[in-house]
Amino acid sequence: MSTVALAPHTATLGLSRSLFTAEEVAQALAVSETLVRQLTLSGDIPCRRIGRLVRYAQADVDAFVSRCDERGY
């Protein structure tokens, strides 16, 4: 099973961060931010919406990569 190396940041409260921006996901996958947003709209990568903010969970990105490994993309 492949995992994507999203760098965990530490928030000011000392909590390990588990949600990432589209830009961070794009950098980790070496794709464009536009592609990440297209994959979100198609339902391939689920996102979390917090108000107007869109964030991605590490587990969802890892699951997407695993599906790509199994069937290709």
70 pLDDT band, cuts 50/70/90, is: confident
Evaluate if residue 47 carries a pLDDT over 90.
yes
Give the model's pLDDT for residue 17.
75
Give the model's pLDDT for residue 1.
53
Specify the fold of 19-71: Multidrug-efflux Transporter Regulator; Chain: A; Domain 2 (1.10.1660)
pTM: 0.75
Of residues 63 and 17, which shows the higher confidence score? 63
Euclidean distance between the first and the last CA atom of the chain, given in angstroms as a whole number? 16
- Calpha distance 13→65 (Å, rounded): 30
Contacts for 1 with CB less than 8 Å, ≥ 6 apart: 62, 66, 69
Give the model's pLDDT for residue 49.
96
